[in-house]
């Protein structure tokens, strides 16, 4: 009985403590606008009730189809990428990185190294600023 009374008292104290928490300040209720700015166009200034965040992209992107509307179907993949995947369809045996055949595991390190190099190359291309 004593344990039950203690538990009820602690629950009451905990739930009552939530009512004392302060409400969020009015200044935190600003609206945030994320705007894409092309080339050297000016970024709109923030006002008291609206925060403006600008993302600057090159001028060449102005008339480009937005990424959300670009097709991502297998048919839109380039022939070079499709041919690269077709080269390794039936690989088995030594240097194939497959569980089939003797020595299939030997190609796994080579595959990881090639993948790391292509990722590094892609990161270098992405980090290079476009020329105007």
Domain segments of the chain as ranges: 26-70, 75-127
User: For residue 23, what is the DSSP state?
Assistant: P
Instruction: Output the pLDDT for position 91.
Output: 67
Instruction: Output the pLDDT for position 117.
Output: 92
63 phi, psi to nearest 5 deg: -105, 20
Could you list the pLDDT tens digit for every one of the 132 residues in the chain? 455 444 544 555 555 544 455 555 555 567 898 999 999 999 999 988 889 999 999 998 888 888 788 777 777 777 887 777 776 666 666 767 776 667 666 777 777 888 889 988 888 887 777 665
Instruction: Output the pLDDT for position 59.
Output: 92
Instruction: Output the pLDDT for position 114.
Output: 87
Three-state secondary structure string covering 59-70: HHHCCCCCHHHC
User: For residue 96, what is the DSSP state?
Assistant: S
- pTM for the whole structure: 0.34
**Residue 56's beta-bridge partner residues?**
37
**Residue 49's beta-bridge partner residues?**
none
Neighbours of 12 (CB within 10 A): 10
Among the listed residues 87, 122, 126, 125, the one whose alpha carbon sits nearest the alpha carbon of residue 107: 87
Report the relative pairing of strands 50-57 and 31-38 from DSSP bridges: parallel
100 Cβ neighbours under 8 A, 6+ residues apart:
92, 93
């Amino acid at each position: 009985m004593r344990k039950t009374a203690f538990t009820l008292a602690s629950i009451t104290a905990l739930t009552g403590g939530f009512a004392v928490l302060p409400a969020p300040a009015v200044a935190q209720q600003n609206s945030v606008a994320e705007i894409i700015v092309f080339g050297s166009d000016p970024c709109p200034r923030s006002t008291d009730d609206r925060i403006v965040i600008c993302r600057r992209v090159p001028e060449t992107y102005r008339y480009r189809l937005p990424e959300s509307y670009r097709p991502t179907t297998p048919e839109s993949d380039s022939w070079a990428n499709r041919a690269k995947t077709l080269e390794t369809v039936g690989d088995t045996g030594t240097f194939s990185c497959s569980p089939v055949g003797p020595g299939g595991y030997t190609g796994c390190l080579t595959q990881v190294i090639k993948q790391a190099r292509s990722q590094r190359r892609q990161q270098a291309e992405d980090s290079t600023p476009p020329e105007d």
